[in-house]
Chains A and B, each alone.
Chain A
Amino acid sequence: MKEAKRNMQNRRSLLLGLLRYATLGLVGAAGGGVIAKRRRLVREGKCVGRGICSACGVFDGCGLPQALSAKQVLGKRK
């Protein structure tokens, strides 16, 4: 009886382990996909923030028309 229970627990932990690492792989692949896409967009000289400069991390060094226009407006306010 105890042996059967232990076998069941082993099978369960093996299955959970497989699912865990499969999920980890999925999360990693999704993250890697987003990073690759971001790199591609930057390489193509496209905006990575849908033209929304507010809270954009690369705003300071960005030379795209939207960013230049936003910098001009912010400069006027100062």
Chain B
Amino acid sequence: MIRSALLIVIAVCLLITCADAFGIQRFPPPDFETGHQLPGTTEPGARSEIFEYVDAAVLIIALSLASWLILKKRNRRWIFMLMLFSLGYFGFYREGCVCPIGAIGNFTLSVFDSDYAMPLGALIFFIAPLVFTLFFGRSFCGAVCPMGAIQDLVLVRPVKVPKGLEQALRLFAYLYLGLAVLFAATGSAFLICRYDPFVAMFRLSGSLNMLVIGACFLVVGVFIGRPYCRFVCPYGVILRQLSRLAKKRVTITPDDCIKCRLCEDSCPFGAIDEPEAPWPEEVYKQRKKTLALLIALLPVLVVLGGWVLGGMSDSTARMHASVRLAEQIYMEEAGLAQETTDPSSAFRGTGEQVADLYAEAVKIRGQFAVGGWFVGGFLGLIAGLKLIRLSVKPTREDYEADRAGCLACGRCFSYCPRDHVRIKELKAASG
């Protein structure tokens, strides 16, 4: 009942957003002063610096509370309430900005551009979830991320994704992270912020394309739990790896697993690993050979990935405004362009030298070629390591939450009979 009501609220929000999305400015505003007030932009305006720290404090309090609820209290209802608060505060009130996912772009640019340093508030947003993940697992994903929360709300009919397909789809998140870092490092674009599928909903305004993509994610999310978090989120890629090192992490059972299998299908994100029986001798020998072959193949995959993405540098470099402008100017100079564009006319108006622009474009293309090799090599490495992992026998005796894949939503707690015993004991102790 509550879930249906929430779905209706989201659908109404979407409809309102659709109306705004059609209301784009189709003609430039008039130049003369008529006293007409221009409508506000779709991006949040500047806020006083003090509010950045207020937001950061709210984030840290929410992360602390989430960690306590997930690891100590083990209460899905309270986790859900905190998730709703985060959706309201970081999503609809703060309009999805600043968020740790988008802060990847700011952080990368801070590292690569000598004249840029990210705001301290954004830095805290980027670092705090990483630190919490190192100690308490993915409590940010479970109860604090507004993008995760909006997808969690629509998850009504969860369908299991086959493990192999899940592993393959996850590669897209690595590609997205690699490209986001490459474009931010070259100063071309903040890819994650530009293509954020839910921010238009949070702001009740934005591009129609992104709104449609966001709506598609929510429709898919009715059946496949949190598709953006699992297969696209670039920050999730970082959190997955850090979660492997977490000091404390989500456990399905509060004490010893009795292998009752009640939790087996409780996770809609496929993050519960079943106990694994030892392989028979023949299978073990066969897998050993496959493993040796895959390890030998790893450098080939790295080089292949680098070669493919490095070779695409001419196309990827076009994301940079200076490269696009240089190409347009070249076309105009060679008589290949039918007409000039606003940027090319503006460039000619500045009186700057065309040769300088060409030199800058060549330099940026070079950066994309080198960066493309790195990103491609990284992707090849990840693909190779995933293949290797599939041929290594996991040693597991109990049902366990996947160290990396568990989103700490707390759904599995109530499926464990030992947890019910714990709750009864706690109630009895408190009288």
Q: Which residues of A contact B (CB under 8 A)?
A: 16-17, 19-20, 23-24, 27, 30-31, 33-35, 37-38, 41, 46-50, 53-60, 76-77
Contacts and interface: CB of A to CB of B under 8 A. Distances in A.
B117 A55 contact: no
Most chain B C-beta atoms within 10 Å of own C-beta, residue among A17, A23, A34: A34
B134 A34 contact: no
Given A34-B117, A35-B123, A38-B120, A55 B97 contact: yes
B284 interface: no
B49 A50 contact: no
A23 B244 CA distance: 12
A57 B117 contact: no
A67 to B, nearest CB: 10
A57 B116 contact: no
A58 B119 CA distance: 9
B292 interface: no
Given A31-B123, A34-B107, A57-B46, A16 B245 contact: yes
A75 B120 CA distance: 27
A59 B46 contact: yes
A20 B121 contact: no
Given A27-B127, A48-B117, A57 B49 contact: yes
A57 B118 CA distance: 10
A54 B41 contact: yes
Contacts of B401: none
Interface string B23-60: 00000000001000110010111111101100000000
B49 A58 contact: yes
A31 B134 contact: no
Given A20-B134, A23-B242, A27-B127, A35 B120 contact: yes
A57 B245 contact: no
Given A35-B123, A37-B117, A38-B120, A56 B37 contact: no
B331 interface: no
Contact of B47 (A35, A37, A53, A57): A57
A57 B119 contact: yes
A63 B247 CA distance: 46
10 contacts: A20-B246, A23-B245, A30-B111, A35-B120, A37-B110, A41-B115, A48-B119, A55-B45, A57-B52, A60-B49
A49 B123 contact: no
Chain A CB within 10 A, most for which of B43, B45, B135: B45
B131 interface: yes
Contact of B131 (A24, A38, A50): A24
B121 A34 contact: no
Contacts of A38: 117-118, 120
